[in-house]
Chain A
Amino acid sequence: MNKTLQVRELETEFHTPRGVVPALHGVSFEVQDNEIVGIVGESGSGKSTVVRSITKLLMPPGKVSAGNVIFAGRSLLDLPEREMRQIRGKDIGFIAQNPFSALNPVTRIEKQFANIAKAHGVKVDASERSRALQLLESTGVRDPERVMRGYAHELSGGMAQRVVIAMALYLNPQLVIADEPTTALDLTVQRQVLDTLRRLTIESGRSMLIVTHDLGVVAAYCNRVLVMYRGNIVEQGPVEDVFVRPQHPYTISLLNSVVRPEEETQYVPGSAEEADTAEPETPDSPKVQLSEARRS
């Protein structure tokens, strides 16, 4: 199997007035062809920083200080912004967390599709437009013609996120990066959107890297999982292995915070809703065990 994306020893830091704060301490992983990889971890663990470092969307004061990102045989970190821009949207699609803050509120949807095409030198004509319409339809948008002529605020959250997905897939990227794609949506809609996303990814032989704090999403939709904690990948492997036989104390604590051992069946596909309830930390919580494990 070929590797779509290879990340080697990626280090990112934030230059704040109080000094340099490291955010990633040498993160390495890869995404194979036609594979869905999930990144899980708590807030601030560096999930989103990984994604932004790969796509070079990191805003100052963030800065990638070391490492290597190989995508389709090219080293992304060495590319000038001009070439990186052509990769974004065309070869790597990006799905934002909240569709309403991601879509342009004052530009018609069809114009936003046309802008993406124009940015990548694709001629905007009737066939391009009908391709966008088909894509909207395949993401499950009802009445795509009307949506195309309208604005983002006229849509429901689920529909808007489908539009975002259609824009990310518009130019047929090999790799789709989704940053918490369903966090802003209702539970019932989350499932539908994720199902759509999986279908569109796997059917066209794409790969997807999906960032989430929802273990249920990982269990139901991913082939492999990376567990992040404090800027490190503490564990990675096939979802079944990591979830059934977690090795690292943090992974164990993360899993324990969601389910009790006898309720393993919660991880079968379809129970994405219940996975998001975290219990408050107690003195003998697994996190404390983790810090003890690290000390020893």
Chain B
Amino acid sequence: MIRYIISRLVIAALLLCGLITLSFGLVSLLPGDPAVALLGEYATPADVARIHSELGLDLPFWDRYLGYMSRTLSGDLGHSLFTGSSVSSEILTRLPNTLIYLVPGLALALIVGMASGTFAAYRYRRFADKAFTFWISILMAMPEFVLALLLLFVFYQQLRIAPAPIGMLSSAQITPPHVTGSIPLDAIIAGQWGTFSSILGRAVLPIVTMGLFFAAPFGKTVRSGLLQVLQSPQIEFARACGLRPGQVFRYALSDIRGSLMTYLVLLFAASLSGAAIVESVFSWPGVGGWSLDGVLKGDVPVIQGFVLIMGTTSLLGYVILDALITLLDPRTRSKAVAGRRQRRLGATPTAIS
């Protein structure tokens, strides 16, 4: 089993190198010269040449590539062309801000999607199922910023129970002393629970936005998966053995958990890019809004940093998912573990005939 996990990690490492290469290629793929983006249209050739040498753009290809690779692997993602701040430290301070609403948002999507999808599947073609399908279609047709604005309209403007979408902290709150640079983490470290709970309060609407937005496709997947499995001979036999409804549901769930987990990781990867829109609406100081800004300005190191962080997170998600699915299912587990052993010892398969 350890061998299997190591083999997955090796593949992940290779993919990571590919990702870095891709991110390096972005510089040459993107239209425009970074020096021109920085200096404006009327820069003199001398200025452009100076910026080129500052950014290392005048070096030979392999020097630039290997330099980028080694710098990235050592954690140095370069500096923003415009603000000059370190991309790695920006990401480190902003990523917790994104995760603080993204993870609960996805958890909400998981719970809501699971519950509603299950309910609809058990009430197939009855009123509850039809109502579910109707609302899912509406939610799925709605872009996340419309959903966010709608929630703001209802809960901020009309009901006045949600805070204004002006970021994570209001000006009235004291900024916690600088330790890690991440405000939520610093607030916890400093024990400023008032500040921390205020951050959580402001995160509620982004969480609900993400939760509803991703609950729709997830619920739909749960419903169709369950519908299929509830008709299967396996579930019929379970019912014919007189198993309790709860036990039958667990059997059904164990059959579709692989596809549900896969879909959840897909949603997580999608939510990282969706974060840019939601963060712009709520002026949230996370990685999403920051990277969107970088894209619009043509700030190459920022774009590269965002691509890397998104790619690495998704990659990590897929590696964990792959290992989990393989190891949770006894059919693939025995192959992943025993297959390797057999190849080494040249032994015959040990199935009972």
Contact = CB atoms under 8 A, between A and B. Distances in A.
A153 B330 contact: yes
A107 interface: yes
A116 B237 CA distance: 11
A227 B138 CA distance: 52
B5 interface: no
Q: Which of B125, B241, B247 has the most CB of A within 10 A?
A: B241
B351 interface: yes
B244 interface: yes
B241 A89 contact: yes
Contacts of A155: 352
Contact of A97 (B125, B233, B242): B233
A67 to B, nearest CB: 20
B328 interface: yes
B237 A96 contact: yes
Contacts, number: 95
B238 A104 contact: yes
Given A105-B330, A106-B329, A119-B247, A98 B233 contact: yes
Given A101-B233, A143-B352, A164-B237, A119 B331 contact: no
B240 A88 contact: yes
A156 B352 contact: yes
A163 B246 CA distance: 23
Contacts of B230: 59
B243 A119 contact: yes
A70 interface: no
B352 A105 contact: no
Contacts of B247: 115, 118-119
Chain A interface residue number, banded: 35 or more
A267 interface: no
A292 B231 CA distance: 38
Contacts of A59: 230-231, 236
Contact of B241 (A94, A150, A154): A94
Contacts of B245: 85
B244 A119 contact: yes
Q: Which of B247, B352, B353 has the most CB of A within 10 A?
A: B352
B124 interface: yes
A218 interface: no
Contacts of A154: 334, 351-352
Given A151-B330, A154-B352, A104 B240 contact: no
B255 to A, nearest CB: 8
Given A89-B240, A167-B241, A60 B125 contact: yes
A57 B254 contact: no
Interface string A133-149: 00000000011001100
Contacts of A90: 242
A79 interface: no
A102 interface: yes
A106 B236 CA distance: 16
Contacts of A146: 352
B64 interface: no
B157 interface: no
B234 interface: yes
Nearest to B232: A101
B242 A116 contact: yes
A199 interface: no
A118 B248 CA distance: 13
A12 to B, nearest CB: 16
B239 interface: yes
Interface string B254-287: 1100000000000000000000000000000000
Contacts of B255: 105-106
B318 interface: no
Given A105-B255, A154-B352, 17 more contacts: A57-B239, A85-B244, A86-B242, A94-B240, A96-B236, A96-B237, A97-B233, A101-B233, A101-B234, A102-B237, A104-B254, A105-B329, A106-B255, A115-B247, A118-B244, A150-B352, A156-B352
Closest 10 CB pairs of A and B: A89-B242, A94-B240, A102-B237, A89-B241, A88-B242, A101-B233, A151-B330, A119-B243, A96-B237, A116-B241
21 contacts: A57-B236, A60-B124, A85-B242, A94-B237, A97-B233, A102-B237, A104-B234, A104-B238, A105-B329, A106-B254, A106-B255, A106-B330, A106-B331, A107-B251, A118-B244, A119-B244, A142-B352, A143-B352, A147-B352, A151-B330, A151-B331
